[in-house]
Amino acid sequence: MKAVRIRDIAAACGVSPGAVSRALKGQPGLREETRQRIIAAAEQQGYDFGRLRSEKIKRVLFLLHRQHNISRALPFYSPLFLGLESACREQSIALSFLSVGPGDAVAEQVMLHQPDALICAGFFEPELLAVLEQLKLPLVLVDLWSPGLPCVNPDNLQGGYLATRHLLEQGRTRIAFLASTLGHYSIRQREKGYRQALYDAKLLMPPEYEAIALPQLDTEQSLLRAINELFDLAEPPDALFAYNDATALLVLQVCAERGLRVPEDVAVVGFDDIEPAAWSQPPLTTLSVDKQRLALEALDILLSERVEANVMLPVELVVRGSSGA
């Protein structure tokens, strides 16, 4: 029999998971009648009250979706994973890794690791998250948002705004946005920031300046096609905000192949501040994300059982060399 979760009790009582957590722990902030109703429902469902006193997380499984193209995603997720491993070691917690996709026997693969809790980083389809929720394990999302699940994210909307405003301040008037998809929460937020900065500047870009790569098995080839289509326009952009650094580096590659000078002909800004951004030619202007802090916040949410946590971390514009000048 699977353990009764706080979310199960919340659904039965018509209250939030946070209210259930406060009731079970005897914390303030609830009417006594509500507290007693929650405790009665927990007893009726067979909730193990001993978990509140003795259960300790000993094994955490870090999950990454294969859609990310693991090799291209590593420059961002490796510092996050290594920061998480270090924090887990300090807490005497074993950390393991698993990449998954919607066609996998996800539940069976996860349970091979015998985890006490899960951390999911980056994009996951709602259907895949639903499978993971059915495992009734504590779960935290990193770089992703989904209704009712605790999460920690960089401030993607503010980052998109800062990147676009920086390009505007450099006198750029034809600013394109480039992404692989808008299906990922983080990318949608960055795109909203881009749009908001243009709106505040009273500028309207042609629709073809919002370049979303066609879905293909090879994301890099699809992005390269989208970049070349931008530069083939009758009036190509004089600036480009790429949704992440890996894509911004592809833009620099295409510029070099076409003989376009950066930033004289086109300015480029990325997002994430992965290590290669600092030693590209020219060094890449980008939005810095504190990847280790993302990891620490995620682990803290798990250990403190903050079931309603929605942590937003600030990002910082890093102007390097002249790529975004």
What are 203-244's pLDDT values in tens digits? 999 999 999 988 765 788 999 999 999 999 999 999 999 999
Q: Are strands 239-242 and 267-269 parallel, antiparallel or unpaired?
A: parallel
In this prediction, residue 31 carries a pLDDT of: 82
Least confident among 27-31, 51-55, 110-114, 302-306:
51-55
The answer to whether residue 314 scores a pLDDT higher than 60 is: yes
In this prediction, residue 140 carries a pLDDT of: 97
Name, of 31-40, 45-54, 112-121, the range with top average pLDDT: 112-121
The answer to whether residue 1 scores a pLDDT higher than 60 is: no
In which band, very low, low, confident or very high, does the pLDDT at 146 lie, cut at 50, 70 and 90? very high
Least confident among 61-75, 175-189, 250-264, 269-283:
61-75
In this prediction, residue 243 carries a pLDDT of: 96
pTM: 0.81
Q: What is the mean pLDDT of the chain?
A: 90
In this prediction, residue 218 carries a pLDDT of: 78
In which band, very low, low, confident or very high, does the pLDDT at 54 lie, cut at 50, 70 and 90? very low
As a whole-number percent, the residues of the chain with pLDDT over 90 amount to 65
Task: List, for residues 187-204, the tens digit of each pLDDT value.
Answer: 999 999 999 999 999 999
Burial of 114 (0-12, 13-18, 19+ CB in 10 A): exposed
In which band, very low, low, confident or very high, does the pLDDT at 323 lie, cut at 50, 70 and 90? low
* Residue written as token pair 């009250």: 49
Least confident among 11-25, 31-45, 96-110, 206-220:
11-25
**Peptide bond preceding 263 in cis form (omega within 30 of 0):** yes
Task: List, for residues 67-91, the tens digit of each pLDDT value.
Answer: 766 567 788 999 999 999 999 999 9
Task: List, for residues 152-171, the tens digit of each pLDDT value.
Answer: 999 999 999 999 999 999 99
